[in-house]
Amino acid sequence: MPASPDRIALVTGGSGGIGRAVAERLAADGTTVVVHYAGNAGRAEEVVSAITGRGGTAVAMGGDVADSDRVEKLFTEITDRFGGIDVVVNTAGIMLLGPVAEFDLDAFDRMHRTNVRGTFVVSRLAARTLAPGGALINFSSSVIRLQQPGYAAYAATKGAVEAMTLILARELRGRDVTVNVVAPGPTATPLFLDGKDDAAIDALARMSPLERLGEPADIAETVAFLAGPARWVDGQVLYVNGGLA
């Protein structure tokens, strides 16, 4: 069944590929969506326009997910405007690749700040704020299982996300708030496609038994399930990758 039309959702990274698909999918269920963005306000407003153009309700709000003061203000702004928050989806993240022996530590710290600290900061506020019946959905990646060379630094950040999320699910015992992780496989987004030639993309597509890349809409369907009807799914990592691993 679809989500209740009076639910409020915050989608971090909501102007990106998967984030946009998630925001639009939740809005299609009647959820009011806050489309969060880090730096590209114009792209976030495009998502808002797409949602409102279909009769949905959405607003764009910006800020650095790793900045605890800004995130606290973001949660306060949403609560003051809409009366509460029911769903938080953390799609905000960056992916930088390279072998461990040569990986730039400044790049590692930058990725850690967004992917790990950012997820922790948002999850921390979600744990304090989400209403009964609410849902927190964080994002990992199927690269943890695939163990591909060049992905160690990125996979390390996603391993941290899985660990913190599954522990938080247990810490929220009795709150009637579900806490889960979605771990996409190769998905046709700008983040994934950047820097890959056609041969590499084709090879990755063939790895799945379904022999294609995932689409952002595939991931958004799983998020919509967790955000709405999946009240008996809690403390889990859902690998959404077409059977890849």
Half-sphere exposure of 219 (CA within 13 A, CB side): 32
Tell me if residue 239 is catalytic. no
Q: For the whole model, what pTM was predicted?
A: 0.93
Q: What is the pLDDT of residue 197?
A: 83
Task: Compute φ and ψ for 243, nearest 5 degrees.
Answer: 85, 15
Q: Which of 37, 151, 154, 239 is catalytic?
A: 154
Check: CB of residue 154 under 8 Å from CB of residue 107.
no
Measure CA 197 to chain center: 26
Beta sheet of 58-62, edge-to-edge order: 58-62, 32-37, 8-12, 87-90, 135-139, 178-184, 237-240
pLDDT tens, residue order, the chain (245 aa)? 444 558 999 999 999 899 999 999 999 999 999 999 998 899 999 999 999 999 999 999 999 999 999 999 999 999 999 999 999 999 999 999 999 999 999 999 999 999 999 999 999 999 999 999 999 999 999 999 988 899 999 999 999 999 999 999 999 999 999 999 999 988 888 767 777 888 888 888 888 899 898 899 999 999 999 999 999 999 999 999 999 87
Contact in structure between 87 and 9 (CB atoms under 8 Å) = yes
Q: Which domains does the chain have, with CATH numbers?
A: 8-240 (3.40.50.720)
The amino acid at residue 58 is A
